[in-house]
Structure 1
Amino acid sequence: MARPVHRAIRPCVLLLLPLLLFVLGQASAKSKSKEKAATTYAAILTGDQMVPPVNTTAHGEVDLAVHQHEKSKDDFVSYNITLFQVSHLKEIDLRQAQQGQPGDKIAILWGPSDTGLNQEVNGQLKQGNLTKSSFEKGPMSKKDPNELMQRFNDNDVYVLVTTTDHPEGLLRGQVHRKNDTSSP
Structure 2
Amino acid sequence: MQLWKLCSGVNITFLEILMNIRRTFGTFPFVVAISLLAIAGSGFAVVSSNTAFAQQQHFTAKLSGAKEVPPITSAASGMAAFDLNAAGTQMKYTLNVTNINHVIAAHIHKGSITANGPIVVNLFIPSKATGKVDGTLAQSSINSTSLIGPLKGKQMTDLLKLINGGQAYVNVHTTQNPPGEVRGQMSSGSATSASTATATAASAAPAPAPSTSSTPKY
CA contact (8 A) 1:50 1:170 kept: yes
Q: Partner residue of 2:10? A: none
Cα distance between partner residues in 2 of 1:40 and 1:174:
14
Cα deviation per residue 1:58-109 (whole Å; 9 max; x = unaligned)? 000110122232xx6xx11110010000100000000001111010110100
Q: Partner residue of 2:165? A: 154
Q: Partner residue of 1:87? A: 101
CA contact (8 A) 1:68 1:146 kept: no
Aligned residues with identical type, % of pairs: 25
What pairs up with 1:161-176 in 2 under 5 angstroms? 161-176=172-187
Cα deviation per residue 1:120-165 (whole Å; 9 max; x = unaligned)? 1101222111111111x31111112122112111000001110011
Flag structure 2 segments of 5+ consecutive residues without an equivalent.
1-52, 191-218
Structure label with greater radius of gyration: 2
Q: Select 1:59's aligned residue among 71, 77, 88.
A: 77
Flag structure 1 segments of 5+ consecutive residues without an equivalent.
1-34, 180-184
Give the root-mean-square deviation of aligned CA atoms. Answer: 1.8
Higher deviation after alignment, 138-147 or 92-101: 138-147
SS at match of 2:112: coil
Q: Which has the higher strand share?
A: 1
Deviating above 6 A after TM superposition, structure 1's stretches of 4 or more consecutive aligned residues are none
Alignment partner of 1:106 is 2:88: no
- Size of the aligned set, in residue pairs, is 139
Shift of 1:112: 4.2
SS at match of 1:147: helix
Q: Normalised by the size of structure 2, how large is the TM-score?
A: 0.60
SS at match of 2:180: coil
CA contact (8 A) 1:66 1:145 kept: no
Closer, same or farther in 2 for the Cα pair 1:68/1:143, shift >3 Å? farther
Q: Normalised by the size of structure 1, how large is the TM-score?
A: 0.71
SS at match of 1:139: helix
